[in-house]
Every structure is written in structure tokens, then in C-alpha cells.
């Protein structure tokens, strides 16, 4: 799990979203679903949301509440080709 969170920190840093005092414990929500054979998971805090495809973090965005009720939350993120 430490490796996965190191990848998350790197992703947040690349997107300019790594703030002071960010701790894993600050992540307050999770949403996960399966499409075809792929699992998508969004983990979010009050400030950022991270999209995982299967077990790999692929994008991070500033969190906004529209993400919570979205029919297709992955549409808020940039997915790798």
C-alpha cells in the first residue's frame, strides 16, 4: 500500500495539488464500480479526488461536489490511452 500512496503523492505533485499537511487519513470518500473487466475507484478528500484504474492511480483533480452524484464520474478525469 505504501507504493500505491507514493504514486498518489507523485500524481498530486505533478498536477499541482499536493498541499501542505496532506495525509491519507484526510481522504473521506470512496466510490468504486466495474465496467467490462476494469475497476474504477475514486478516492477523495475535501480538496482533491484521485481516480484509480484497477489498482493504479491515473489522474487527480480538485474535488467538487458534482463528482459525487455523477453517472460517469470518470468523465471528470483524464484517462490514459
What pLDDT digit, counting tens, does each position of 40-70 carry?
A: 999 998 888 999 999 899 999 999 889 888 9
What is the side-by-side strand order in the sheet with 56-62? 29-35, 38-44, 48-53, 56-62
CA dist 81 and 72 (Å) reads: 18
What pLDDT digit, counting tens, does each position of 2-32 carry?
A: 666 788 888 888 998 887 555 666 778 889 9
Q: Where are the beta strands (DSSP E) in the chain?
A: 29-35, 38-44, 48-53, 56-62
pTM, two decimals, is 0.85
**Structural domain boundaries of the chain?**
2-76
Instruction: Take residue 46 and report the three cell numbers written for it.
Output: 475535501
Amino acid at each position: 500500500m505504501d507504493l500505491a500512496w507514493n504514486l498518489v503523492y507523485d500524481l498530486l505533485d505533478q498536477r499541482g495539488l499536493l498541499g501542505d499537511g496532506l495525509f491519507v487519513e484526510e481522504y473521506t470518500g470512496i466510490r468504486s464500480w466495474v465496467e467490462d473487466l476494469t475497476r474504477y475507484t475514486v478516492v477523495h478528500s475535501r480538496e482533491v479526488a484521485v481516480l484509480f484504474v484497477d489498482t493504479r492511480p491515473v489522474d487527480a483533480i480538485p474535488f467538487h461536489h458534482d463528482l459525487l452524484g455523477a453517472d460517469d464520474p470518470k468523465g471528470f478525469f483524464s484517462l490514459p490511452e
